[in-house]
Amino acid sequence: MQRLPLLTRLLRRRTRKGPPARYDVHWQPAVAVPAADGVSLMTDHYAPVTDEPCPTVLIRAPYVRVGFPFNYLYGALFAEQGYHVLLQSSRGTGGSGGDFHPWHGEGDDGRATVAWLRERDWFTGDLYTAGASYMTYTQWALATDPPPEWRGAVMQVGHSDAHDFFWRGGAFGLERALVGGTGLFNQALTTWAYARVILRLQRRMRRVVRGVPILDVYPQVYGGRRPAFEEWLAHPEKEFWHDSDLTPVADKLTVPVSLSTGWWDLSPEQVIEHYQRLRAAGNDPDLLIGPWTHTSALEDGWPVLFEQAMRRLRGEPAPYRIRIFMGGADEWRDLPSWPPPEMREQRWFLGEGTLRLAEGTGVSSFRYDPTDPTPSIGGPLQSPTQGQRDNAGLEARSDVLLFTGEPLLEAVEIIGAVRAEFDAATTAVSGDLFARLCDVDPTGRSINICDGLTRFTADGRVTVEMGPAGHRFKPGHRIRLQVSGGAHPRFLRNYGTGEPPGPATRMVHTDTTIRHTSSLVLPVV
């Protein structure tokens, strides 16, 4: 064991993102842990400086050993509270042997690591797991055959279904594939090397997402071709992803679990489904939903997430089943279930630029031009415009329809899943409908609450699942539904030809008609 790296020591002294430290921390980098097939899995061991027995926390992912922030947030901060912490690189990444295949083999390698732990004299037999994003997926993989030493899991802003992650609604999640793939495919061993990878991504992202064919331009972001990315892009069918979908594992998991997500996280729908499945199976999970994106959860939300994690690792009961941050009211609320029992669906019908409780007649239409695609601004992004944003620039575009209600005489509160049901038609082989719920204040400022996209090919009813929300529309505010033909590059633009997106270069515009029998369905409490 040796002293922590200088940067980590400085962060511990000058930046407190948690309670006071109980112990000093030492570490042992690049410990070779054998997998079942003999491959070495590189693992950093962070240990509290004490002779007392301490439980162990296992955290696994391709990028977890790059350095900051994971060495600080999980290595140092968890260890100083009295836990042995293992940060382990998935096989084929970060110095680990073998070949990396996203979403495959993580369970077997996790169990091999537990077998190795059993032989350590410092291992007490009490194992916990923790982590965010892909670190959550590796926990679900371990749950396919859970080891008997497993005492609890902390799953933060995660997912368990890669098909839903990339193809939710039927359009490819281009931005999350490029940004997420940067972390998965560029297993830098130092913070500074990884920083250079991120700089390349930022410099080339705009050029890549505008280029065609996407199969020829995407390597500029990664620094070379990546077969996994090409597989993601080539397979919208759910059957291809079957083996990587671990969502059903929640139906039988008995290990205590703490879940967290943000309203603008990448997969809050999946996290809520995890909670509901665990609860239905007799587990007693707790769920935290904050005003966060995928990245800000580990920044602005870290004190809250860390408190939740420490409570789970100490085996203490949560003071809530579900705790959400209520937008508009700017307060935390505790719920007995999701959705809450008092929730009732309320239908708002579209009119000529209006949104009202009575059904009307007429139609509205817009033209979507893939050569000038409607941009993605706000919401579950991994770019600087992520989260809740002023939608003025987006709503000024001619390819964006607005349906706005009258100023509210009293507050309207929503908690639950939001959706839009359209009676729509398109002139192209296929069209996309992007729907966004917004809160318009008395000054006219429009901020996004939740949204979603659905690709459709036939005229008729089109349902757009807009995700979960917890929000209070104040008196004097107006409810707005924003409708367009895409959100690029969050979703790969629809070329309008029906051709496979990878090699496609030809584009045609799409005229979409929406009949005013369409409606916005709100979960009002």
Q: How far is CA 44 from CA 74, 189, 192, in A?
A: 11, 12, 18
Residue 466, amino acid: M
pLDDT tens, position by position, 448-499: 999 999 999 988 999 999 999 999 999 999 999 999 999 999 999 999 999 9
Helix or strand (DSSP H, E) at 398: none
User: How many Cα atoms occupy the beta-carbon half-sphere of 52 within 13 Å?
Assistant: 13
- Digit-coded pLDDT (tens) for 288-332: 999 999 999 999 999 999 999 999 999 999 999 999 999 999 999
- Dihedral sign, Cα of residue 381, residue 182, residue 302, residue 164: positive
CA–CA distance, 20 with 163 (Å, rounded to integer): 41
Enumerate residues 6+ apart whose C-beta is below 8 A from 56: 83, 84, 85, 86, 117, 123, 124, 126, 127, 128
Q: What integer is the mean pLDDT of 406-416?
A: 98
Alpha-carbon distance values, 328 to 324, 332, 349 (Å): 12, 11, 23
Burial 414-441 (b: 16+ CB within 10 A, else e): bbbbbbbbbbbbbebebbbbbbbbbbbe
Q: Model confidence at 429, in pLDDT bands (50, 70, 90)? A: very high
Average pLDDT, the chain: 95
User: Residues in the chain, how many?
Assistant: 525
Q: CB-based contacts of 202: which residues, under 8 Å, 6+ apart?
A: none
d(CA 208, CA 158): 27
Beta strands in 271-362 (DSSP E): 286-293, 322-326, 331-335, 344-350, 355-356
Report CA-CA distances (Å) from 302 to 9, 73, 223, 260, 456. 19, 9, 32, 11, 39
Q: What is the pLDDT of residue 160?
A: 98
* Cα separation, 86 vs 74, whole angstroms: 9
**Numbers of helices and strands, H then E, in the chain:** 14, 21
The beta-strand segments (E) located in 283-382 are 286-293, 322-326, 331-335, 344-350, 355-356, 363-368
DSSP, collapsed to helix, strand or coil, labels residue 483 as: strand
The pairing of beta strand 150-156 with beta strand 257-264 = parallel
480 pairs with which residues across the strands? 404, 438
Give the Cα separation of 411 and 404 in Å (integer): 16
Task: Give the angle subtended at the CA of 267 by the CAs of 380 and 398, to the nearest 5°.
Answer: 35
Residues 6+ apart with CB under 8 A from 405: 348, 354, 355, 356, 478, 479, 480
pLDDT at 68: 84
Q: Please report, in angstroms and rounded to a whole number, the separation of the first and last CA atoms in the chain.
A: 55
CA distance 194 to 191: 5
3-state secondary structure of 264: strand
pLDDT at 266 over 70: yes
Task: Provide the 8-state DSSP code for 408.
Answer: P
Give the model's pLDDT for residue 114: 98
> Average pLDDT for residues 66-83, to the nearest whole number?
93
Residue pair 483/400 in contact (Cβ under 8 Å)? The answer is yes
Strand pairing report for 322-326 and 40-48: unpaired
| pLDDT for residue 185 | 83
Is 324:311 a contact under the CB 8 Å cutoff? no
Tokens linked to 50: 């004490």
Looking at residues 6-12, what average pLDDT do you find?
Answer: 82
By the 10 Å C-beta count (0-12 exposed, 13-18 middle, 19+ buried), 134 is classed as buried
Tens-place pLDDT, residues 14-50: 666 678 999 999 999 999 999 999 999 999 999 999 9
Percentage of the chain lying above the pLDDT 70 cut? 98
Whole-prediction pTM: 0.96
